[in-house]
Amino acid sequence: MNTRSLFRVCNKLIGPSIACTPCRHVGTYKTVKRPDPSTLKMPAPGTAPKLMEIIKEKIRLKGPLSVAEYMHIVITNPTEGYYMKKETIGESGDFITSPEISQLFGEIVGIWFYAETQKMGMGPGRPLQIVELGPGKGTLMSDVLRVLHRLGYKPKDLSIHLVEISDTMQTVQAHQLCASHKGCDVDSPHYCEGETTSGIKVYWYYDLKKVPCNFSWYIAHEFFDVLPIHKFEKTEEGWRELLIDIDENEKLYYRISAKETNNVNNLIRPPLDGGDRTELEAFHKHKVVNPLETPGASDLTADVDFSQLRVAASMTPGDENYALVVGPVTQRDFLRRTQAEARLKVLIDHAKSDEQKETLQAAYEMLIDPEKMGERFKFMAFYPSAMAAILEKYPPIGFSNLEKETK
């Protein structure tokens, strides 16, 4: 069967009875609760925590910090780091992400992976690892698992591998996904393990390199933007790195490195160094508060430059094992092409009250509205280069115009 038709069949197949929390209401219809989009909050400035002192002390001891070092401290410091505190994501936190807004999001992601895997002849019955980087509250994974259960995956064939740096977020994920979980000893590649109510094993890692190398799906949602970045500027003397230092008023400020830093030599190389660009950053900063004023109190993210990500992952001279990259496409285009609206209709048809119907509709609008999350958020997919011929025959779903291609 053509994979697009397969996708449509899956979307229908998971129909009314899918929208139940895994294994708790099997066979009954239940809309998964999501917050009311009209009450969602954006990041708000906080008060300067002790983290500022930690950062200044570091600068006094070893000199100016790279933007990457600064981000690393702010995001991951064990006591004051942003993601070490409770409830950063969601209705009561600082920001909200697409899977927290609508169950549709994770369900479509699950069906998409399923359909793409069929192209390789690796469907249910074969062992599958699902790896997620920065799983937040575990909501996306829980929506994906619910879909896979309906599409015929058996718990014994599945294992979940979560790369999560924050112990606080790990606990939140364990409560969302597992019936039981426990910490592991230091010799183990994973630091915690658990099991879902249906018996799927779940493992947590601090480092992606520790995840077993088996056939896997990789999911990274709102993850690249929290990774530490370096900032560079092209001066008359060549590329220089932007550093963070302390000024005479004891405030943090950006300055350009006097000489080439090691990072300039290691990170700026072809093809990233091509063209006439005078400013290079894997990502652009994009904040409502000054990121140097309240470290740890508010979220510190970068706007991912997806085209650079594409360049970095695609074939570079001499590379044998490169990735085939599709996208970026906007969240709006991806969801519309993957028939999220048809899924929305099923959910609305089975909603118990008008209020529930309105919430479902409003959540969907929030995901696709160009003024809200529709154009700001992007989708990209990376395939192993060995799939080139298959993708030529069955192009990736959601990344090109469905209407045109099915004519």
> For binding to ligand SAH (CB under 6 A), which residues are involved?
75, 83, 89, 97, 99-100, 134-136, 140, 163-166, 169, 221-223, 226-227
Tell me the CA distances in angstroms from 333 to 164, 380, 397, one per residue in order.
29, 12, 11
Cβ distance to ligand SAH smaller for residue 222 or 333: 222
Cβ distance to ligand SAH smaller for residue 206 or 383: 206
Task: Tell the smallest beta-carbon distance from residue 192 to ligand SAH (Å).
Answer: 13
Task: Tell the smallest beta-carbon distance from residue 338 to ligand SAH (Å).
Answer: 17
In 3D, which of 216, 271, 146 has the Cα closest to residue 382?
216
Q: Where are the alpha helices (DSSP H) in 178-276?
A: 262-267
Cβ distance to ligand SAH smaller for residue 165 or 280: 165
Cβ distance to ligand SAH smaller for residue 6 or 140: 140
Task: Tell the smallest beta-carbon distance from residue 298 to ligand SAH (Å).
Answer: 14
Distance of CA 381 to the CA centre of its chain: 12
Cβ distance to ligand SAH smaller for residue 221 or 230: 221
Task: Tell the smallest beta-carbon distance from residue 90 to ligand SAH (Å).
Answer: 8
Task: Tell the smallest beta-carbon distance from residue 208 to ligand SAH (Å).
Answer: 8
CA distance 392 to 406: 15
CA distance 170 to 141: 13
CA distance 144 to 233: 41
CA distance 147 to 65: 45
Cβ distance to ligand SAH smaller for residue 107 or 222: 222
Task: Tell the smallest beta-carbon distance from residue 165 to ligand SAH (Å).
Answer: 4
CA distance 15 to 162: 28
Report DSSP state, residue 157: G
* Strand partners for 329: 379
- Strand ranges in 93-246 using DSSP code E only, listed in sequence order: 128-133, 158-163, 180-183, 192-195, 201-205, 216-220, 231-235, 238-246
